[in-house]
Amino acid sequence: STGEGIMRSDRGPKNLEQISMGGYMMRGFRLLAPEMPLFAVAILLLLGNSAVRLVLPNFQGAILDGVGKARHSCAPHAPDASQCDEHKQEFYHNVMLYFVFAVATGLISALRQWFFTIVARRIVLHIRERAFASVVTQDIAFFDGMKVGDLQQRLTSDVQRMASPIFSALPTMLSNLVLLFGGLVMCFVTSWRLSMLAFTTVLPIMHITQTYAQWSGKMNREIFQDFADGNAISNETISNVRTVRAVSAEDHELERYGATLAKALSKGVKDATIGSLSTLLSSWLDQGAGVLILWYGGSIAMHPDGNISVGDLIKYQLYYNMMTTSIQQLTGVLNQFTRAAGAAERVLSLMDCKPDIDPFAGAPVDVVVRKWDLKFEHVSFYYQMRPKNIVLRDLSFEVNEGTVCALVGKSGGGKSTIIHLILRYYDPIDGRITLGGVDFTQINPRSVHQRLGVVSQETQLFNATIEENIKYGAPSSVTHEEVEAAAEAAQALKFINGFEDGFATKVGERGQRLSGGQKQRIAIARCLLRKPRLLLLDEATSALDTESESQVQKALDSLIWSGQHTVLLVAHRLSTVVNSNQIYVIDKGTMVEQGNHTQLLERRGVYCALVEHQLQQQREQINE
Ligand code: ADP
C-alpha cells in the first residue's frame, strides 16, 4: 500500500505494515478498552434484540394457523365445534404475545442505538486526541516529508471512517449473524424440504456479494488516497493564496485539484456500476428463491394432508427473508469494515509513528547541566529529504556561557541549519553537540526549549490577541505589566497602543494583520518575556521599511546586548558582528575562519572580504 502510510524519505517507509482485517479488529478492541462497560451493555442489548426478533415469525405463523383452525372449528356444524373457543383463545393469546414482543424489540433497539452511538463518539474523540498528540510530538523531519492536507484528513475523516463500524457495521454484523444462524436453523426446523430447494440460490448470492465487497474495498482505498491528494492541493492553495493570486495561478490549481477529483470520480463510477450489477444478480437469485418457495410450498400446502400449513409457509417465508436480508447486510458490513480498515491503516500508522527525537526522553537540563557551554564536536548533517546535499561537514565550535557569538557567511552556507540542530529540530548525522559537557541526545528536549529564546526571520504568530501572542509559551504566572515591559523593550509598545484594542488586538491567522516589522517586534517581546538562558537569533534580512527596520534593530540590540543570556546569532548587520565576542565564518557547511573582529580583519581572509563587501554596499546605498 504505497503512499498510504507515513513516508520517510531515505529511510524508506516507516511503520508501513499493512494492517490485516484481524489486526485492525485487535487494535480496534484495544482502543475500545476504556469504553468497555458501555460497550458491553450495548452488545447485550443487541443480542437481546436479535433474540426477540428471531421469535417474532413464530408468533406470526402461529397467529395465522390459529385463524385457520378457528375458521374451521367455529363454522356452523363443524365436527370440532367444541374447540372453537379454545382456538379463539389461543389466537388472542398469540396476538398479545406478538404485541408485547414487538413493543420490546422497538424499545431495546432504541436503547442499543443510543449506547453504540455514545461509545462511538467517545472513541472518535479519544483516537483523534491520541493521533494529534502523535502529530505534535513528531520531529521536524517528519513534517518536511508530510503534506498538511494529508495529515488533516487522517485526523478528521479517516478517524471518523475508522470508528464508524462501531455504531453501524459492528452492531449490524452481530445482530445479523444471530439472525442468519437463527433463521437458518428455523428454516430447517420449519421445513427441510423447502430449505434444500431454497438453498440452491443462497450460496451463489453469498459468493457474488463477497467478491464484490473485496474488490470495492480496494477501489475505495484508492479513492480515499485521491481525496487525500486533493486535500493536500486545496490546503496548499489556501495557505499560499496570496502568491496564487499574485501570479494568477488559480487555473493551474483548479486543474490540479480537478484532476485528482476526476480520478476519484471515475473510480467511484466504476464501483457504482459493478456494485449495481452485483445487486441485480443477487436480487434475481433471491427473488427466484422466493418464487420457488411459494410455488413448491404452496403446492404441498394445497393438499389437505400436506405436512406444511399455510402458517408454516408464511413463517418459512419470514425466516428465509430474515436470512437473506442478513446475508446482504453482512456483505454491506464487510464493505464498511474493509473501508474502515483502510482508514485505520492511515490513522494507526500515524499514531504508531515514533519520532526519532522524542520530546519526552532524556534528563531535565537543569539536573544534568551546570554551565551552559554549547559545543559542536565534528558535526556533520544533511536533511533527510535531500540526503545528497551535505549541509554541515565536520563542524566544531563552541559558544561559552555569557558570550555573544555570531555566525556569518554566504547564504546557503548552513547557518540556519546550525540553529535548527540546537533547537533539536534534527539531530546530527555524525559527531555530537554537547551542553555543559553532556551529550544533547541525553537531555530532555522540552526542558531545553523552556530555557531557549528564538527569534527567526519568519515570525510565527497565532490567530489570537497580541497579548496572547507575546505570552505564548511563557509561564501562566506572567502578569500584564511584565508583558507590557517586554513590549516596551521590544519597541512594540507604541504601535500596540496605537491600535484601537491595544494588547487585545487580534492579529489574524499567522499574524497577517500586522506588518513584517511589527510581527518581528512581537516575537522579540515574546522572547524577552521568557528570559531565556540561551538566545538563538536569525537577524532579519527581509526588506523592512527604514523606519520599522531601525526600530526592529533597536529591539534586537536590547535583546542581544542585555547581558542576561548567552547569544548565538546569524548576523547580517556589521554592528552586531563587530561587537560579538566570537565570530564564526561558515562556508558550504565548514568553518573557514574564527576569532573576534580585530583578529579576523588581520587575517585578511574571507571575513575581511565579507566586511569590505558590506561596507561597499553601504557606501553605494548612501550615494544613491
Ligand atoms: P544559511 O542559513 O547559511 O543561509 P541554511 O542552513 O538555510 O543556510 O541552508 C543550508 C542548505 O540546506 C541549503 O542548501 C538549503 O537548500 C538546505 N536546506 C535548508 N533547509 C532544508 C530542508 N528543510 N530540507 C532540505 N534542505 C534544506
CA of 590 to the centre of ligand 1 (A): 14
| Residue whose CA lies nearest to ligand 1 atom number 27 | 383
CA of 412 to the centre of ligand 1 (A): 6
What pLDDT is attached to residue 35?
A: 86
Confidence class for position 10, pLDDT limits 50, 70, 90: very low
Higher pLDDT, 168 or 291: 291
Mutation test residue for ligand 1: of 395, 416, 542, the one with most atoms within 8 Å of CB: 416
What pLDDT is attached to residue 16?
A: 37
CA of 457 to the centre of ligand 1 (A): 14
Mutation test residue for ligand 1: of 384, 389, 418, the one with most atoms within 8 Å of CB: 389
240 pLDDT more than 90: no
Each residue of 523-535: pLDDT tens digit?
Answer: 889 988 888 899 9
Backbone angles phi, psi at 563, to 5 degrees: 75, 10
What pLDDT is attached to residue 591?
A: 92
Confidence class for position 60, pLDDT limits 50, 70, 90: confident
| Residue whose CA lies nearest to ligand 1 atom number 12 | 391
| Residue whose CA lies nearest to ligand 1 atom number 13 | 412
How remote is the C-alpha of 489 from its chain's centroid? 41
Which of 159, 149, 153, 150 shows the shortest CA–CA distance to 129?
Answer: 159
88 pLDDT more than 70: yes
Mutation test residue for ligand 1: of 386, 425, 606, the one with most atoms within 8 Å of CB: 386
500 pLDDT more than 50: yes
Confidence class for position 19, pLDDT limits 50, 70, 90: low
Phi/psi zone of residue 245: left (φ > 0), alpha (ψ -120 to 50 degrees), beta?
alpha
Ligand 1 atom with the shortest distance to the CA of 410: 3
What pLDDT is attached to residue 378?
A: 95
CA of 176 to the centre of ligand 1 (A): 59
Please, is 480 exposed, middle or buried when counting C-beta atoms within 10 Å of its C-beta (0-12, 13-18, 19+)? exposed
Rounded CA-CA distance 235/241 in Å is 10
Mind giving me the DSSP string for 17-52?
PPPPHHHHHHHHHHHHGGGHHHHHHHHHHHHHHHHH
Confidence class for position 364, pLDDT limits 50, 70, 90: very high
Rounded CA-CA distance 281/102 in Å is 33
CA of 369 to the centre of ligand 1 (A): 30
Over residues 569-597, the mean pLDDT reads 89
48 pLDDT more than 70: yes
CA of 440 to the centre of ligand 1 (A): 22
Over residues 331-359, the mean pLDDT reads 83
The 8-class DSSP code of residue 451 comes to: T
| Residue whose CA lies nearest to ligand 1 atom number 21 | 383
Rounded CA-CA distance 404/571 in Å is 11
Confidence class for position 84, pLDDT limits 50, 70, 90: confident
146 pLDDT more than 60: yes
Mutation test residue for ligand 1: of 146, 391, 420, 569, the one with most atoms within 8 Å of CB: 391
Confidence class for position 544, pLDDT limits 50, 70, 90: low
Each residue of 156-200: pLDDT tens digit?
Answer: 888 988 888 877 888 888 888 988 999 999 889 888 888 888 888
The most confident of 3-7, 394-398, 541-545, by mean pLDDT: 394-398
Each residue of 557-568: pLDDT tens digit?
Answer: 888 888 888 999
Show the CA angle centred on residue 106, arms to residues 104 and 108, nearest 5°: 65
546 pLDDT more than 70: no
CA of 137 to the centre of ligand 1 (A): 23
542 pLDDT more than 60: no
Mutation test residue for ligand 1: of 142, 383, 542, the one with most atoms within 8 Å of CB: 383
Confidence class for position 235, pLDDT limits 50, 70, 90: confident
**Residue pair 285/200 in contact by the 8 Å Cβ criterion:** no
Q: Can you give the pTM of this predicted structure?
A: 0.72
CA of 568 to the centre of ligand 1 (A): 18
312 pLDDT more than 80: yes
CA of 391 to the centre of ligand 1 (A): 7
Over residues 26-46, the mean pLDDT reads 86
* C-alpha dihedral, 535 to 539 to 545 to 547, nearest 10°: 50
Q: 3-state DSSP call for residue 56? A: helix
Distances (CA, A) of 434 to 298, 423, 428: 90, 13, 11
Confidence class for position 132, pLDDT limits 50, 70, 90: very high
What pLDDT is attached to residue 394?
A: 94
Long-range contacts of 284-289 (CB under 8 A, 24+ apart): 285/201, 285/204, 285/205, 285/208, 286/201, 286/205, 286/324, 288/201, 289/197, 289/198, 289/200, 289/201, 289/202, 289/320, 289/324
Other C-beta atoms within 10 Å of 389: how many? Answer: 9
Over residues 534-541, the mean pLDDT reads 80
Cα first-last separation, the chain:
61
Question: pLDDT above 90 covers what percent of the chain?
Answer: 25
Edge-to-edge strands of the sheet including 374-382? 390-399, 374-382, 430-435, 438-439
Across the chain, mean pLDDT equals 85
Query: How is residue 131 written as a grid cell?
Result: 493521533
Strand partners of residue 535: 453, 567
Ligand 1 atom with the shortest distance to the CA of 409: 3
What pLDDT is attached to residue 541?
A: 55
2 pLDDT more than 60: no
Binding pocket residue ranges, ligand 1, CB within 6 Å: 144, 383, 385-386, 389, 391, 411-417
5 pLDDT more than 60: no
150 pLDDT more than 50: yes
Lowest mean pLDDT among 152-161, 267-276, 543-552: 543-552
268 pLDDT more than 80: yes
Higher pLDDT, 304 or 291: 291
What pLDDT is attached to residue 15?
A: 39
Which of 103, 104, 98, 108 shows the shortest CA–CA distance to 47?
Answer: 108
All residues at 6 or more sequence positions from 132 whose CB lies less than 8 Å from its CB, including other chains:
155
Total length of the chain: 624
CA of 7 to the centre of ligand 1 (A): 21
Over residues 431-452, the mean pLDDT reads 92
Q: Is the ipTM of this complex over 0.95?
A: yes
Ligand 1 atom with the shortest distance to the CA of 586: 3
What pLDDT is attached to residue 8?
A: 40
Higher pLDDT, 78 or 48: 48
CA of 417 to the centre of ligand 1 (A): 6
Residue 565's identity, in one-letter code, is: H
What pLDDT is attached to residue 4?
A: 40
The most confident of 266-270, 526-530, 577-581, by mean pLDDT: 266-270
Query: How is residue 551 written as a grid cell?
Result: 526600530
CA of 458 to the centre of ligand 1 (A): 14
Lowest mean pLDDT among 425-434, 456-465, 492-501: 456-465
Lowest mean pLDDT among 253-257, 485-489, 615-619: 615-619
Which of 497, 498, 499, 471 shows the shortest CA–CA distance to 483?
Answer: 471
Over residues 324-331, the mean pLDDT reads 84
| Residue whose CA lies nearest to ligand 1 atom number 25 | 383
Ligand 1 atom with the shortest distance to the CA of 418: 6
* C-alpha dihedral, 254 to 256 to 262 to 268, nearest 10°: -120
